A and B are shown apart, each in its own frame.
Chain A
């Protein structure tokens, strides 16, 4: 059974800092790894999807990397802003033969607070 872990549960940083959010997963047989953002009381917004054959993906100030062999992914946020304050969740998608793009297994998320 896939387990996804995100540590720490919460993080507070001053505005402008570059930061890294970590995600680890127990079963390396994944098809992709996704990062989502969730604002309080809201649904999830997809940030980045990294295919299992890729090492990283970039979108604006966000860069996500994937190392399947070690069961790790990181989300790098450059020049953090107060508007980045939210909960960031990573989710693993099972391999093609077990139902790719079916159920996602989520971590508990990291609640980020960027102080002005």
Chain B
């Protein structure tokens, strides 16, 4: 069990650029979640997948955000035309799809938009 990994750990970009983050879940976990956390706040749900199917998206996930999990393994989160308000920690988590299973979080990707 190598845990949930995220890449990159830090990203600095200029406003208007596109960025893509990757998440590798724990290998046997078929559920994968994305959250966003700003300073002093708890994580806010963005979206989640069961295998390759995206089952729910938050209203926070504007049209500039897109997430994929093409083969039901790793996932990518892309932000197009970044804005300063996108600066946050982007957290990925995974779990089994049984109820009462905890979500295991990765270390996060910290995004700074200048």
Residue positions of B touching A, CB distance < 8 A:
4, 31, 33, 35, 40-45, 48, 55-56, 58, 91, 93, 95, 97-108, 110
Contact = CB atoms under 8 A, between A and B. Distances in A.
Given A102-B55, A103-B33, A46 B103 contact: yes
A4 B99 contact: no
A108 B45 contact: no
Of B42, B93, B106, chain A has the most CB atoms within 10 Å of the CB of B42
Nearest to A111: B40
A13 interface: no
Interface stretch (A14-22, A63-71, A78-86, A93-101): A93-101
B97 A101 contact: yes
A114 B77 CA distance: 37
Given A44-B91, A102-B56, A108 B42 contact: yes
Contacts of A91: 42
Contact of B42 (A4, A100, A101): A4
A43 B100 contact: no
A103 B105 contact: no
B91 A43 contact: yes
A101 B101 contact: yes
A34 B100 CA distance: 10
B45 A103 contact: yes
Given A41-B110, A43-B106, A44-B91, A105 B45 contact: yes
A108 B43 contact: no
B74 to A, nearest CB: 17
A46 B102 contact: yes
Interface in A27-84: 31-32, 34, 36, 41-46, 49, 51
Contact of A49 (B33, B100, B108): B100
Given A100-B99, A100-B100, 13 more contacts: A4-B42, A9-B40, A43-B4, A43-B91, A44-B91, A46-B105, A101-B99, A103-B56, A104-B45, A104-B103, A106-B44, A108-B41, A109-B42
A106 B56 contact: no
A101 B56 CA distance: 12
